[in-house]
Amino acid sequence: NEVLRLEGLEKGYNRGKPNEIMVLRGANLTIPRGQVVALVAPSGAGKSTLLHIAGLLDTPDAGRVIVNGQDMTGAKDGARTAARRQALGFVYQFHHLLPEFTALENIVLPQLANASPRKAAEARARDLLARVGLAERASHRPSEMSGGEQQRVAFCRALANAPALMLADEPTGNLDPATSDTVFDALMELVRATGLSALIATHNLELAARMDRVLRLEDGKLVEAT
Ligand code: ADP
Ligand code: ADP
């Protein structure tokens, strides 16, 4: 029972040109349901490339991508978008909340786009906000919240449609160290409470050590950090 399987991924940029760069060289990864995996690597090693391929935002040059049991290798754009909406939740370094909408609406809107009734969507949004300690912030706009609060709302939005897998690229990278710790705690509680699986890229080795498993991206391959 796996939420993600990547087999033999290869990915390069500027293929066949003098400035060709091979980023992935046979990367393999299997994430069982419920597992939280840290992805650790220096800048430029290919973390974003890997997350974009796993998130069905980019395609590999070779290899297979299986998301939540569905083989997405060579799938058409429509199927990829549907799988993204149903199976995946995204978190970035910057929150990317819609500035003109409240915290609640930012979590409700993706559910309406996924055909949830408004009442159920609002109830779920309130429940998620309460879990990250933001019940009192439901009607605040992003500009009325701190950076840490904005990022906690972004976590709730990523979970709005109950994805099988959360993909996060430096989710606390934009915050000062103290805020980063509390926001990461909120993220881990949310992930544990919902039984979510996650692949979280981070530079922070202390945060990585608190996940179930730590992987390093080395020479275009994923290796277990022991
Ligand atoms: P990370 O997220 O670990 O910093 P990236 O996946 O963003 O790494 O990038 C890996 C390497 O691929 C870097 O050397 C980067 O400059 C290069 N790269 C990323 N995207 C492109 C692109 N669209 N065109 C050319 N090179 C790219
Ligand atoms: P929608 O029309 O529902 O926004 P999209 O295909 O644009 O459908 O997006 C589906 C999911 O993929 C969303 O969660 C969105 O945040 C994410 N997404 C789409 N395009 C990108 C991108 N270029 N970079 C990062 N995430 C993206």
Calculate how far, in angstroms, residue 217's C-alpha sits from the geometric centre of ligand 1. Answer: 13
Q: In angstroms, what CA-CA distances link 45 with 62, 128, 176, 219?
A: 18, 34, 24, 8
* Nearest atom, ligand 1, residue 49 CA: 6
Contact (Cβ atoms closer than 8 angstroms) between residue 208 and residue 30: no
Q: Which of 119, 163, 144 is nearest to 155 (CA)?
A: 163
Contact (Cβ atoms closer than 8 angstroms) between residue 40 and residue 202: yes
Q: What is the pLDDT, as a whole number, of residue 14?
A: 93
Calculate how far, in angstroms, residue 85's C-alpha sits from the geometric centre of ligand 2. Answer: 8
The 3-state DSSP composition of the chain as helix, strand, coil percent (nearest 5) reads 40, 25, 35
Residues lining ligand 2, judged by CB closer than 6 Å? 57, 81, 84-85, 90, 113
**How much is the average pLDDT of 137-166?**
96
Calculate how far, in angstroms, residue 57's C-alpha sits from the geometric centre of ligand 2. Answer: 8
pLDDT tier at 47, thresholds 50, 70, 90: very high
Q: What is the pLDDT, as a whole number, of residue 22?
A: 95
Mutate to test the pocket of ligand 2, among 85, 92, 95, 109 (most ligand atoms within 8 A of CB): 85
| CB distance 45 to ligand 1 below 6 Å | yes
Give the span between the Cα atoms of 37 and 14, in whole angstroms. Answer: 30
Residue-wise DSSP of 38-101: EEE--TTSSHHHHHHHHTTSS--SEEEEEETTEE-TT--HHHHHHHHHHHEEEE-SS----TTS
Give the span between the Cα atoms of 19 and 106, in whole angstroms. Answer: 41
pLDDT-wise least confident of 20-24, 71-75, 92-96, 196-200:
92-96
Calculate how far, in angstroms, residue 3's C-alpha sits from the geometric centre of ligand 1. Answer: 25
Give the span between the Cα atoms of 4 and 63, in whole angstroms. Answer: 13
* Nearest atom, ligand 2, residue 113 CA: 3
Mutate to test the pocket of ligand 2, among 77, 86, 90, 156 (most ligand atoms within 8 A of CB): 90
Q: What is the pLDDT, as a whole number, of residue 32?
A: 96
Contact (Cβ atoms closer than 8 angstroms) between residue 93 and residue 170: yes
Q: What is the pLDDT, as a whole number, of residue 81?
A: 93
Calculate how far, in angstroms, residue 180's C-alpha sits from the geometric centre of ligand 1. Answer: 25
**How much is the average pLDDT of 181-204?**
90
| CB distance 49 to ligand 1 below 6 Å | yes
Ligand nearest the Cα atom of residue 23: 1
The pTM (predicted TM-score) of the whole model is: 0.88
Give the span between the Cα atoms of 220 and 160, in whole angstroms. Answer: 32
Note every long-range contact of 123-128, with CB atoms under 8 Å and residues 24 or more positions apart, other chains counting: 124/160, 125/156, 125/160, 128/156, 128/159, 128/160, 128/190
Q: Is pLDDT at 173 greater than 90 in this prediction?
A: no
Backbone phi, psi, residue 90, to 5°: -115, 140
Cα–chain center distance at 103: 19
Ligand nearest the Cα atom of residue 52: 2
Give the span between the Cα atoms of 115 and 102, in whole angstroms. Answer: 20
Computed over every residue of the chain, the mean pLDDT equals 94
